[in-house]
Structure 1
Amino acid sequence: MNVPDPIEDASTADMSTEDLTQDCRDTRRLADDAERWLGDEANAGVVGREREDLVRYVRKAGHRADRLARAAQRPMCAGVFGPSQAGKSYLVEVLARPEGGALRARFDGHAAIDFLAEINPIGEKESTGLVTRFSAAAQPGTPPGLPVRLRVLSEADIVKVLCNTFLHDGDTTKESPPTAEEIAALLTNLKPAVRAGAARLTEAEIDDLQDYLRDQARGTRYLDALARYWDGARALAGGLDLNERARLFAPLWGGHAAFTGLYRQLAEALERLGHPEEIFAPLEALVPREGSILDVATLAGLGASASSDTLTVRAAGGSAVSLPRATVAAITAELRIEIADAPRAFLGEADLLDFPGARSRQKVDLGHFLTAQPDALKETFLRGKVAYLFDRYVAEQELTAMMLCVRPSNQEVVTLPDLVERWIALTHGATPEARAQLPNLLFLVLTWFDSHFVDKAGDAGQDASLRFRNRIEASLTGFFGKAHAWPREWTPGTPFRNAYWFRNPNYPAESVIRYEGRREVAFLPEKQGRIAELRAGFSALPEAAAHFQDPGRAFDEALRLNDGGVSYLVENLARVCRPALKAQQIASRLDALRAEMRERLARFHVALDIETRLAERREAAGQVFDALDPVVAAGSLGSLLRALLVDPAALTDVLHGTEVAPQEAHQSAALPPTAPRVVRPGSIARPGAPAARPQPVAPVLDRERTMARAALGAWIDHLNRTVEAEGFGRRFTVPLTAMEIVVGELITLARRADVEGTIAADLRTLATVERSEQSTAKLALIAATRLNRLAGGLGFNLVPPAGERPSIEEGEGVRIAFAPRPISYDARAITQAPATFAHAYATDWFHGFYRVAEDNAKSASGVTIDLEQNARIGAILSGLQPRVA
């Protein structure tokens, strides 16, 4: 594999874990500073309608920086992942054990235990519902009698698991979404229950939960009904007790009583333990393996009111707590196994993670299923937990390298390509150019290699390469490649080229190998020719050359007796299992986060020199054009801009029930409390009255202005969430920083053109012909039309336009951007060559955006600048400048 040496070329090679962790913490501090600056009333006029959205953003940015700091302090991990029953178990066991020896686990106060013989659940079925970490690194001692170390889910994790279950195992078309009135009533009823100092869930955790649900709920409109839920949830969650929190979160899983009861059961267990990250359990949690918390069958006790099968567990420094075995299994995210004997060399640098197999999801009527099926709660919770665990480990940057196991035949887990794509985007980059900066840490392991040596009826005389072409298509190009581009182009101009064959020598390949007992000793003489024929067919296959580093060697290594290809896989794995690579991944994500924060906040810092402001915004516009050039070339600019349009239906939900805001306190103070007096015409004054003088007009926040303000806020929220969504980045492959620039300029344009006032005027016009409370959908359509014209026409199609249309020199002439097309009345206007409308529009949009960026920069001239506040935001931006490696 032609990649740069990961240590020599890594920009973070010499960076210590402490330095990287400190950079993450500094970024968190800057996010806190930004939140305070945004919340300062002195900056209310500068920030405008964006304040609420920006506060949420910097709060989430701080949360992400905390995650990266924790990830920097944890060891590098190589994980084994794939669909259920794909052959992962043997691969994990053979990677973790010493060469030629058994995999034994060490527990404080006990002799080493054979993992396969005494701990690993028996059977061919999918056996685990948690992540198992195999580590050669020694950890501090465990409490006496409690040698089993377990990482547990948090309360927010439990909510996410139940939401994942509801969205992916339930048929949301058969659910009745809560109405706006029901949500309002719930939030109102919970307000009196809030207690100061009872904080359990932070606002950042609620923000994170909202983002997770938005991502998981793509393609379903059930959660649209919760548009007005989240602000209330943020305000309430931190001050409610467990039962009230259960009421608060119940709408997220459809209000199903079984899920609400399970949430109470698991959250109460965490509460009794003190909400730790790690707990300790007795060896009886694992041995005997019948009833082990590793075995998914243990979850069958979930939801029971009482159980005699309990385990005594405790957190570090906490008291012992007796919990049902099923509850301990449910709240456990990870079991840590310390390897007793010296393992393979690469495990000296990394831990090995064994993920439970990805499962196909089936849409059922949960209302019926949860009552009709005895094991329904166990099955639905298990599927949601298995799916969420992979999401969590990816989000926490735990999975540095991945061995993706894929079996032959058609793939059933339709969500697998998106899961893998998300991991690739977060660890390597979303584009071929970004992935070129790192060695390939995705190992595609094609299991059950020996199945291709079984000749079936009709195979005689068939092209020897056909079975391998079909396998590569079924397992890679036709499965992952249909959904995403990385199999065809991992780096610029080069396909993904890190595939391996693998077989399990414990499963006899008697069609080609001779055995003595269970040991492979030689290939059958009569099969030697057929093996050579198949090898030649595979090696000559263009797909093999494209996706395997050395097709001939990959074939030979998988046939190595009593090995099955594991030595070859370990050889290549050892080359990239280096802690510096994890540091490089984390540093890359940290740099991206800091760049996002800088772009979101930079608009509020005013360079006192207008030429400097213009130069900065022109440079930003250039970054946008560089990022959008491939989009234009692919004919996708219209689709990208369409994605920025706000749905009138979504605005309808926002505007529905909007109340008239109360008059500002200063308004009543400015106006005398006496009854208004009739103004006399002409110069006829009342006797003894002083000469008339104009009275200050206080701004009136009427219903229409309130609704226009709500619509503008919803539009801003929609723009930011759209470009931040992973699906948007995957679809258009545009860097988030470039889209942040686009969104920022559009928001500034909306303020400069007073779109809020224009919408309010439109709504007043409508109110003269019909009652506004009876026409919320029409109000939303009017607001959406005004707002959406900003993305497509950049304000030049407004009446009056937001600025002078730029001139475009094209060919031998000059035309005006966004000029109305001439009306053609007959066929004489049809030319021989079709008009390039898409190219002309993209040209107009680029020129228009450049003009908007300039006009936005110029509009800052003449405004009053608070030098102290400007210096504060300037210091934050200075702290967010690119780090020095």
Structure 2
Amino acid sequence: MTTTTLSTDLLQQQFAHLDDTIGDALDWVEQTREQAPRLDLEADRLNLQLKRCRDKARRLTQATQLPQTLGFYGHSQAGKSYLICALAAGNYGRLETRLGGVTLDYLTQINPGNRAARLATRFTRQTEVKDRAFPVRVLLLNEADLARIMVRAFQPDAHYHVPDTQQITEHLNKLMMHRQPLPVPGFRSEEMMGLWDSMIRLDARRFRHLNAHYWPVAVQLAPYLNIDDRARLFSLLWGNVPALTTAYRHYAHTLQHLGGAQSLLAPLSVLVDDAMQPADGIFSQSPAYDIEISVCPEFAGESHAPVTLSLEELTMLAAEVQIPLLSPPREALFEEIDLLDLPGYGAAEEEVDGEDDITPLFRAKIACLPERYTDRHEMNMLMVCTAADRRDDVVAVGRTLEHWVKEMHGENPQVRSRRKPGLVWVLTPFDRRMTESVHYDEAVQRHVGNPGDAWGALLAMDDRGLQRMADYLVAEIRPEIRLNRLAEQRDELRRELADNLLGSWYQEGETADPAQKQRTVQTVIKALQTRTGVHGELLEKLLPGRDELHRIYRELSEQPDDARVQDEAGVESFGIGINIDLFAEQQDTQVWQEKADDGTAFARQVQRYWVNHLRSLPENEPLIALIGVAKPTVELLMEELITASFRLEMGDALIRTLGGALPAGTREHEHHADRQVSRALTVLGDFVAWLGFE
């Protein structure tokens, strides 16, 4: 499909079709896994991956309906206002708006002194509220956003206890007893995948203890819990800190009080007072949070009956406030493009003298806002003015901007080379590099990537610099560039579904196509031949870690004998199944019969873990970067390794090596565990090294 045939409506239909297709695939997996043992082995992980793809398809569907937006991010509030005025100001260089029949100047009456807000501010010519009593439109966070905020607000200390497998399982089992028969509005399983991914980006090492046992169950369970039980479910994510659990519960109930609305209309008093001067409202740095405010939830563009919120609740739940521009902007382009001002990382603590109980939550909220808009694909370009204000923030800000670059402009340099950088550092007279001797922008830039690829830079020190910036934006924020990027993501989503997740489960005819097999082998060999220097690292990654196998052995040892023969798909990260190659020419139809006193259970769990470990390697970005092989090629390699392992009866080899009657009590013996793990790694290592040809 050429770029000239692309349209917003067509892309929206295609993403919606992908959503439906994934729904059909999820149904097929559940209906087929009981009759297809090898599918059952991978079904739980496949379900999670399909839900992740469905979450992305839905976010991209929503992105096609959103206006184009130019984002401004950083600590230099004066610098951001300087740029926004240069692009969008009307008569006399003023950012004027008309709300409730009153004309206001944003920079002198609503937010004088360039105060850092605790929410985003959108300047737009697209929308205007007709309600004079409630003229201010505020977009709201949702429950998934609240969970991300609480996770970011949690700061583990030396006394933090990482829950073990037994504690996680007991926690989940208690909550399963509270599962409702029908989904409870507020959280979908696809949004749970987004929350999981967010925590991996935040700190994969800190939260890795939740991957195996917590997330696979929580993804399925959360949509069927009420708010109070959902808060208990999520409490493990923030170390069971009571204050954070209480805060999540309170704000989630407040969203429910608003009927789950995505936006609301507020009175003018949240911005200015009766004298049309800055109010003790949502822009104030020390507001009187006990003020009660009447607001009108919006549904499908229609406002409903007023409900009452406190100013603190409104400020916390507000994702953005919209400022409709009164006059045409200087640059005609911005008649159709919104400008979004995002506060800098940690901005909530800059303007206050002390720290109250709510300040850490606002700080976490501000840290989450760029991720929220990135996941929603709202900012087509992002201008940065003083990225970080402290050395300690460099890594966090770098990760945030790196995530934006990968989502909005491409996950690797090859994709990003199709367009100029969309992440742009703009040097203004108000930049910290101009006003102070110490700054951290270069450190953030090094974390994000290389100049010219991941980011660019512009000077906007005077009128000529501002005009060059405007010319660059006019050329690079065209609608077709945005549509082309959405089309790239559509194609990648299709490839992920067809080639990686679902393609291996479908085969025309009774046997595999030899020509296709030959093409696959040639593709893999050609890619690996040029990277002989990193084959050792790749071979090492093909084997599971010794610690993980020890964990599996220990968990089996701690289970009662009768529990080992039950299907643990609800608690394990991947389903237990009978290992059989659905498409092998010589299928192994033997069903493993597990015995409580031999190593069959361990062999079964080792193979299951190893297969899914191989499936996860293409998602290991550092590994892909190290070996220098494209992700689709690594996916092909993993598929062929898994298929070969079944044809060479890897399951039987593990049983022969690990099985055999054991004296009572030896299963728990530490030395026996070491021997079993070593034997398992030997079997897997021989296969990886020789592919069965010994």
The TM tier, using the shorter chain, reads 0.7 to 0.9
Q: Residue 104 in 1 paired to residue 4 in 2?
A: no
Identity %: 25
Hey, what's the Cα distance between the residues in 2 that align with 1:418 and 1:314?
34
Hey, what's the Cα distance between the residues in 2 that align with 1:242 and 1:451?
44
In the alignment, what sits opposite 1:309? 292
In the alignment, what sits opposite 2:422? 441
In the alignment, what sits opposite 2:648? 753
Query: In the alignment, which of 480, 496, 507 is matched to residue 445 of structure 2?
Result: 480
Residue 325 and residue 422 in structure 1: after superposition, are their counterparts in 2 closer, same or farther (change >3 A)?
A: same
Aligned amino acid, residue 197 of structure 1: L
Hey, what's the Cα distance between the residues in 1 that align with 2:118 and 2:347?
15
Query: In the alignment, which of 700, 712, 715 is matched to residue 610 of structure 2?
Result: 715
Pairing of 1:342-361 with structure 2 (within 5 A): 342-343=328-329, 344-359=331-346
Q: Residue 241 in 1 paired to residue 222 in 2?
A: no
Q: Cα RMSD over matched residues?
A: 3.6
Q: Tell me, what secondary structure is at the counterpart of 2:52?
A: helix
Q: Residue 431 in 1 paired to residue 412 in 2?
A: yes
Query: In the alignment, which of 489, 502, 505 is matched to residue 460 of structure 2?
Result: 502
In the alignment, what sits opposite 1:389? 369
Hey, what's the Cα distance between the residues in 1 that align with 2:14 and 2:388?
45
In the alignment, what sits opposite 2:252? 267
Query: In the alignment, which of 600, 603, 607 is matched to residue 705 of structure 1?
Result: 600
Residue 83 and residue 641 in structure 1: after superposition, are their counterparts in 2 closer, same or farther (change >3 A)?
A: farther
Deviations 1:128-161 (A, max 9, x none): 122211111135x555622221221110111111
Larger CA deviation: 252-261 vs 34-43: 34-43
Q: Tell me, what secondary structure is at the counterpart of 1:355?
A: strand
Aligned amino acid, residue 106 of structure 1: R
Hey, what's the Cα distance between the residues in 2 that align with 1:436 and 1:218?
29
Aligned amino acid, residue 314 of structure 1: P
Pairing of 1:208-357 with structure 2 (within 5 A): 208-220=194-206, 222-224=207-209, 227-288=212-273, 289-298=278-287, 301=289, 307-316=290-299, 318-343=304-329, 344-357=331-344
Hey, what's the Cα distance between the residues in 2 that align with 1:148 and 1:174?
45
- Given that residues 77 and 353 in structure 1 are in contact (C-alpha distance below 8 angstroms), is that contact kept between their aligned partners in structure 2? yes
Query: In the alignment, which of 155, 160, 165 is matched to residue 175 of structure 1?
Result: 160
Hey, what's the Cα distance between the residues in 2 that align with 1:99 and 1:626?
62
Residue 245 and residue 187 in structure 1: after superposition, are their counterparts in 2 closer, same or farther (change >3 A)?
A: same
- Given that residues 164 and 209 in structure 2 are in contact (C-alpha distance below 8 angstroms), is that contact kept between their aligned partners in structure 1? no
**1:203 positional shift:** 2.2
In the alignment, what sits opposite 1:594? 494
Residue 277 and residue 112 in structure 1: after superposition, are their counterparts in 2 closer, same or farther (change >3 A)?
A: same
**Greater relative contact order structure (CA < 8 Å, 6+ sep):** 2
Q: Tell me, what secondary structure is at the counterpart of 2:102?
A: coil
In the alignment, what sits opposite 1:879? none
Give the TM-score normalised by the residue count of structure 1.
0.67
Query: In the alignment, which of 38, 44, 53 is matched to residue 52 of structure 1?
Result: 44
Deviations 1:647-668 (A, max 9, x none): 3323444454344557689xxx
Query: In the alignment, which of 627, 633, 638 is matched to residue 738 of structure 1?
Result: 633
Residue 662 and residue 179 in structure 1: after superposition, are their counterparts in 2 closer, same or farther (change >3 A)?
A: closer
Q: Residue 129 in 1 paired to residue 118 in 2?
A: yes
Give the TM-score normalised by the residue count of structure 2.
0.84
Residue 433 and residue 374 in structure 1: after superposition, are their counterparts in 2 closer, same or farther (change >3 A)?
A: closer
Pairing of 1:610-649 with structure 2 (within 5 A): 613-625=513-525, 632=531, 635-649=533-547
Residue 651 and residue 386 in structure 1: after superposition, are their counterparts in 2 closer, same or farther (change >3 A)?
A: farther
Residue 442 and residue 757 in structure 1: after superposition, are their counterparts in 2 closer, same or farther (change >3 A)?
A: same
In the alignment, what sits opposite 2:182? 197
Hey, what's the Cα distance between the residues in 2 that align with 1:450 and 1:421?
21
**1:772 positional shift:** 1.8
Deviations 1:244-286 (A, max 9, x none): 1111111110111111111011101111112222222222222
Q: Tell me, what secondary structure is at the counterpart of 2:213?
A: coil
Deviations 1:443-495 (A, max 9, x none): 221233899899x9xxxxxxxxxx9xx99xx744x6523x35422x629xxxx
Aligned amino acid, residue 413 of structure 1: D
Hey, what's the Cα distance between the residues in 2 that align with 1:47 and 1:264?
39
Q: Tell me, what secondary structure is at the counterpart of 1:795?
A: helix
**1:770 positional shift:** 5.5
In the alignment, what sits opposite 2:674? 778
Aligned amino acid, residue 232 of structure 1: V
Aligned amino acid, residue 92 of structure 1: I
Larger CA deviation: 98-107 vs 757-766: 757-766
In the alignment, what sits opposite 1:836? none
Q: Residue 62 in 1 paired to residue 26 in 2?
A: no
Residue 698 and residue 752 in structure 1: after superposition, are their counterparts in 2 closer, same or farther (change >3 A)?
A: closer
Hey, what's the Cα distance between the residues in 2 that align with 1:407 and 1:186?
40
Aligned amino acid, residue 701 of structure 1: E
Hey, what's the Cα distance between the residues in 2 that align with 1:208 and 1:567?
39
Aligned amino acid, residue 133 of structure 1: R
- Given that residues 723 and 736 in structure 1 are in contact (C-alpha distance below 8 angstroms), is that contact kept between their aligned partners in structure 2? yes
Residue 264 and residue 113 in structure 1: after superposition, are their counterparts in 2 closer, same or farther (change >3 A)?
A: same
Deviations 1:60-106 (A, max 9, x none): 21221111111011111111123466832332333331264310123
- Given that residues 618 and 631 in structure 2 are in contact (C-alpha distance below 8 angstroms), is that contact kept between their aligned partners in structure 1? yes
- Given that residues 348 and 366 in structure 2 are in contact (C-alpha distance below 8 angstroms), is that contact kept between their aligned partners in structure 1? no
**1:235 positional shift:** 3.6
Residue 292 and residue 358 in structure 1: after superposition, are their counterparts in 2 closer, same or farther (change >3 A)?
A: same
Hey, what's the Cα distance between the residues in 2 that align with 1:349 and 1:308?
36
Pairing of 1:366-381 with structure 2 (within 5 A): 375-381=355-361
**1:331 positional shift:** 1.0
- Given that residues 358 and 386 in structure 1 are in contact (C-alpha distance below 8 angstroms), is that contact kept between their aligned partners in structure 2? yes
Larger CA deviation: 282-291 vs 272-281: 282-291
- Given that residues 431 and 733 in structure 1 are in contact (C-alpha distance below 8 angstroms), is that contact kept between their aligned partners in structure 2? no
- Given that residues 74 and 344 in structure 2 are in contact (C-alpha distance below 8 angstroms), is that contact kept between their aligned partners in structure 1? yes
**1:731 positional shift:** 5.8
In the alignment, what sits opposite 1:842? none
Runs of 5+ in structure 2 lacking a partner?
568-588
Hey, what's the Cα distance between the residues in 2 that align with 1:649 and 1:86?
52
Runs of 5+ in structure 1 lacking a partner?
1-9, 302-306, 363-372, 457-466, 504-557, 666-695, 806-885
**1:314 positional shift:** 1.8
Q: Tell me, what secondary structure is at the counterpart of 1:603?
A: helix
Pairing of 1:534-573 with structure 2 (within 5 A): 558=462, 563=463, 565-573=465-473
Hey, what's the Cα distance between the residues in 1 that align with 2:314 and 2:166?
38
Aligned amino acid, residue 345 of structure 2: A
Hey, what's the Cα distance between the residues in 1 that align with 2:466 and 2:377?
26
Residue 439 and residue 332 in structure 1: after superposition, are their counterparts in 2 closer, same or farther (change >3 A)?
A: same
Hey, what's the Cα distance between the residues in 2 that align with 1:603 and 1:291?
60
In the alignment, what sits opposite 2:84? 92
Residue 22 and residue 404 in structure 1: after superposition, are their counterparts in 2 closer, same or farther (change >3 A)?
A: same
**1:337 positional shift:** 1.6
Hey, what's the Cα distance between the residues in 1 that align with 2:69 and 2:432?
30
Q: Tell me, what secondary structure is at the counterpart of 2:58?
A: helix
